[in-house]
Amino acid sequence: MSLHSNRLAPARRYALVLVDLSVGFTDPSRSRLAAPCDEVIEANRRLLAAFRERGDPVFFTTVAYDAADQSRVFREKLPALNDLVAGSALVEIDARVAPAAGETVVVKRAASGFFGTDLAARLRAAGVDGVVVTGLTTSGCVRATALDALQHDLRVLIPEQAVGDRDEAAHRANLRDLQLKYADVVDLDACLALLGR
């Protein structure tokens, strides 16, 4: 028996949360965590332009570690995370989607942009009731951030073309599960049209 889920009503105001579009995840020539993602970057450029034109809030996340005891078990499980040293080029947001003046980069040490950060408080202060979650990777930090956004009673949109993963099967399976239980996975153009209403 299949589970029925509803399409969420649109939020009154969305913030854009760009998850881990840092060099460590976007440049395979420099990082073992990265995979080719030019199409994902381009989709995020379009979303950034739309949010900036409307004056709606934009938040970036990046993973960075500056102490050995931070996220010890996560880093034991995935040793490549140790490459994401605070202050290094790998934790900088990719220049193709660089933050504009006044846009916040939330530094995180876990998968979710909410865990151990002030992102929820920042979103409340911005007066939003929904988030458009994008970035890398679908099966990891995007999923964790979208799930936690829902658990903060935010309406979650995920533009399919604006997220990516090193593993295509994991990407597809997680988009399907997110759509079923936690978010509305939508086409990029449909998302842009909704934002423009």
Alpha-carbon gap, residue 92 to 23, rounded angstroms: 6
37 in catalytic set: no
Alpha-carbon gap, residue 28 to 47, rounded angstroms: 23
Which of 19, 37, 128, 141 is labelled catalytic?
Answer: 141
Q: Which of 82, 77, 133, 128 is nearest to 106 (CA)?
A: 133
111 and 117 in contact (C-beta within 8 Å)?
no
Show the tokens assigned to 17: 């949360």
The answer, yes or no, to whether the previous bond of 62 is cis (omega within 30 of 0) is: no
86 and 65 in contact (C-beta within 8 Å)?
yes
Cβ count within 10 A of residue 9: 9
Residues paired with residue 107 on neighbouring β-strands, in sequence order: 62
Alpha-carbon gap, residue 86 to 143, rounded angstroms: 23
Provide the annotated active-site residues. 141
